[in-house]
Amino acid sequence: MRFGALTALSEVSLRAEPGTVHAVIGPNGAGKSTLFNVISGVYSASAGSVRLGGTTLTGLRPHRITALGVGRAFQNMAASPNESVEENIMLGRHLLTRSGFVSAGLKLPWAVREERLHRARVVEIAEFVGLGHVLHLPLGTLSYGDRKRVEVARALATEPRVLLLDEPVAGMNAEETRRMSEIVLAVRESLGITVLLVEHDMSMIMSVADRISVLDFGRLIADGTPAQIQNDPAVIAAYLGTTAGTDTGAASVRTTASSGHISAGPAHTTAPSQQ
């Protein structure tokens, strides 16, 4: 993926196993959001391919990719603040419903029935993420944590096979983060959906992820289980830098990293979470 002369992602190859929570981490500007935009078709990759099962998604327009089973919840909430929670989630049903201007405008019986069936499913999804009691309130009146869950509910409403979550707990307090973690695990357990997760909150990632890929400057620098990633020297170097800085708290780790002698130990395993 390139923007002019800038290569935002290069030679990133990762594979999310079905039914797992796969986290993508990396410092700011590493290319995580770009990766999501390439997967969901907002950007088209200049080289390489995106595949879902046996289907190639590369080059398809976003609504086609959604139709093939990729749901995405945005980092910066992209829902309509004046619409009710229910309406916002209903948007996710767009591709699963058929009624157009004429059939909806004339309230044809099948269009009315379709609307009713899908509203019932939206209520189920809202209850699944714990939003059942605020369904009819305008989105803008909800708390930050609730709005983030509306994003997730809307992505789930597309009935995806793969769910892309872009920083679902960014800016959340501990309680909200815990609830979101529970939802992510429930999505995997009870719905069997593969979750691809971009997040900065390390303790959240360590508690939900089955596998972690680490990006830095648009390159994949590590890929493995949470335990492997925590002890990976390249990861620690990426997060804390390889040159000496002014931050005395991290200076010792930096020095160690540049000399390439990182070993497993409590001081180092907790280091990434200082980000």
Partner 1 sequence: MFGAAIGAIGLNILVGTTGQLSLGHAFFLAVGGISYCWLSGESNDAGAHPYVGLGLPPLLGMVLAVGISGLAGLLFSPIGARLKGLYLGIASLGMVFVGIHVFNSVDQVSGGHNGRTVPEFSLFGFTFDDSDPELYVLNVEFEKFERLWYLGLVLAVGCYLFARATLNGRPGRALRAVRDSEIAASVNGVNVTSYRAKAFLLSSMYAGLSGVLFALAIGSVAPESFAIEISVQYLAMIVLGGLGSVGGACAGAAFVTALPYVLGEYAASIPGLSEPGTGGVSYSEAARYAYGAAVILVIIFWPTGLAGIARSLKLVSMRRAARNAPT
| Nearest alpha carbon to residue 53 among 24, 95, 18 | 18
The amino acid occupying position 114 is E
Contact mark string toward partner 1, 13..52, x via CB under 8 A: ---------------------------xxx----------
What's the closest the beta carbon of residue 240 comes to partner 1, in angstroms?
33
Taking CB under 8 A as the rule, does residue 74 contact partner 1?
yes
Taking CB under 8 A as the rule, does residue 57 contact partner 1?
no
| Nearest alpha carbon to residue 30 among 213, 196, 219 | 219
Contact mark string toward partner 1, 101..140, x via CB under 8 A: x--xxxx---x---x-----------------xx-xxx--
**Cβ proximity of 212 and 21 under 8 Å:** no
**Cβ proximity of 65 and 40 under 8 Å:** yes
The amino acid occupying position 82 is N
Q: Which of 52, 67, 185, 234 binds partner 1 (CB under 8 A)?
A: 67
| Nearest alpha carbon to residue 134 among 83, 188, 202 | 83
Q: How many of the other CB atoms lie within 10 Å of CB of 177?
A: 20
* Residue 225 three-state SS: coil
Taking CB under 8 A as the rule, does residue 143 contact partner 1?
no
Closer residue to partner 1 in complex, CB, 150/238: 150
Question: Which residues of this protein are in contact with partner 1, per CB under 8 A?
Answer: 40-42, 61-63, 66-67, 72, 74, 78-81, 83, 87, 90-95, 97, 99-101, 104-107, 111, 115, 133-134, 136-138, 141, 154, 158
